[in-house]
Amino acid sequence: MKELTPKGIAIRVAFLLSFLVVIVLGMVLISNQLFLSIYYYFLFFVITLAISYFGFLLALEKFIYKKIKLIYRTIHNQKLKKEISNTNKLFFSEDIALNKDKDIINQVQQDVLDWVKTNQQEISRLKGLETYRREFVGNVSHELKTPIFSIQGYILTLLEGGLDDPTINKDYLIKANNSVERMIAIIEDLDEITKLESGRLAMKIEKIDIVQLVKDVVDSLEDRAKTAHVSIKIQKEVKSIWVMADYGKICQVIVNLIVNAIKYGKEEGEIQIKFFDMHDTILIEVADEGEGIEAHHLPRLFERFYRTDKGRARQNGGSGLGLSIVKHIIEAHQQTVNVRSSTGVGSTFSFTLEKAKGK
């Protein structure tokens, strides 16, 4: 069935009404023994059809304009005017007339459904943000509360006589200082993420040798890896690979990923670092042989303070912001970072960097 536009409805109703009027008129004239030629009946039919058509069209326009305009006004008030205006020609402003060639009812229904869908998506997004906000506030509170309570405990012990005890005073001061440094690290990491998100932290993009950078980082972490009984292997037969990046920030990314691999890799395991040419970009992978990460954790792994094993993670130290910083640094380079993992097999973190042009 064709779309019922205002013109379509008006012509149907006018035709039916004109036909009935002519039939009734003919019956009345015949009952009074008055006979007219078919020409007059046709003329009367056409006149009635025209009057009925324009009369019904005007009535429909006023009715629809009055009723549906309220719907569109509500939608427009919800800041969707631009979106609706770009998708159809059914405007209900003060200076634009109703389009009588459109299937108004179906179009309005579709617009309202789109409006509802958009609002539902916005509500879901806001609920997600609210959940994230609550979790973030709770995580910040917990991360700061732990070192603060530790500092408080050490200071109270010293004030209550421990300061005069040479066996504990220096040790407690060192532990309190470590807790202070942990708080400073958390605050500095949060500040760095904020600057990265807001774009206030300028990237010094230059041509760098990513292979040499990785080798330098691995050398600096060699003692830490030996202590954890983990070996780090860089892909063999890889010559210099030049990329466009901020040397200091990418160094920070590599450090964070390798340190995480050392922390969560298995003892006597191996960390492999590989490079892949992706035409316009270079893909860098850091893979460990640890316990792996369960699939339901992966979508949230780069969130601030998110931990898959909170107890073990805090024992291993760290602010809980390392992967979040990695994500923001890579995104500041307009590149992507990903993770894939299988429990019992290990995890692989990868990110891309723009390949430098020329040699």
Report H helices in the chain: 6-31, 38-75, 81-87, 104-159, 169-198, 210-220, 222-227, 247-264, 310-315, 322-332
Between β-strands 205-209 and 281-287, what pairing exists: parallel, antiparallel or unpaired? unpaired
How many Cβ atoms from other residues are within 10 Å of residue 257's Cβ?
A: 27
List, run by run, the mean pLDDT of 10-residue segments along the chain (359 residues).
67 85 81 76 84 82 67 59 47 46 64 77 77 68 80 88 83 88 81 77 88 93 91 87 93 92 88 92 93 87 75 55 89 92 91 85
* pLDDT for 12: 84
How many Cβ atoms from other residues are within 10 Å of residue 98's Cβ?
A: 18
Q: Identify the CATH class of 205-355.
A: alpha beta
Only one residue has tokens 């890896």, namely 225
Q: What's the one-letter identity of residue 258? A: I
Q: What's the Cα-to-Cα distance from 221 to each of 45, 230, 290, 349, rounded to whole Å?
A: 96, 11, 18, 18
Give me the DSSP letters along 196-217.
HHHT-S---EEEEEHHHHHHHH
What is the greatest pairwise CA distance in the chain? 133
Neighbouring residues of 332: CB distance < 8 A, sequence distance ≥ 6: 196, 199, 201, 203, 249
| CATH value of 131-198 in 1.10.287.130, 2.60.40.60, 3.90.1170.50, 1.25.40.10 | 1.10.287.130
Only one residue has tokens 């993420």, namely 193
Structure tokens given for 279:
């035409």
Residue whose C-alpha is closest to residue 330's, from 276, 254, 263? 254
Residue whose C-alpha is closest to residue 260's, from 301, 297, 296? 301
Q: How far is CA 50 from the centre of its chain?
A: 56
Burial class (CB in 10 A: 0-12, 13-18, 19+), 173: middle
* pLDDT for 96: 40
Structure tokens given for 101:
């060639």
Please state, in angstroms and rounded to a whole number, the distance separating the CA atoms of residues 4 and 7. 8
Structure tokens given for 346:
């290990």
As annotated, the residues of the chain forming the CATH 3.30.565.10 domain(s) are: 205-355
Please state, in angstroms and rounded to a whole number, the distance separating the CA atoms of residues 138 and 150. 18
Structure tokens given for 307:
């931990």
Q: What are the backbone angles phi and psi of residue 75, rounded to the nearest 5°?
A: -65, -45
How many Cβ atoms from other residues are within 10 Å of residue 211's Cβ?
A: 20
* pLDDT for 106: 67
Tell me the sheet residues that pair with 232.
271
Q: What are the backbone angles phi and psi of residue 318, rounded to the nearest 5°?
A: 95, 160
Structure tokens given for 164:
């005069």
As annotated, the residues of the chain forming the CATH 1.10.287.130 domain(s) are: 131-198
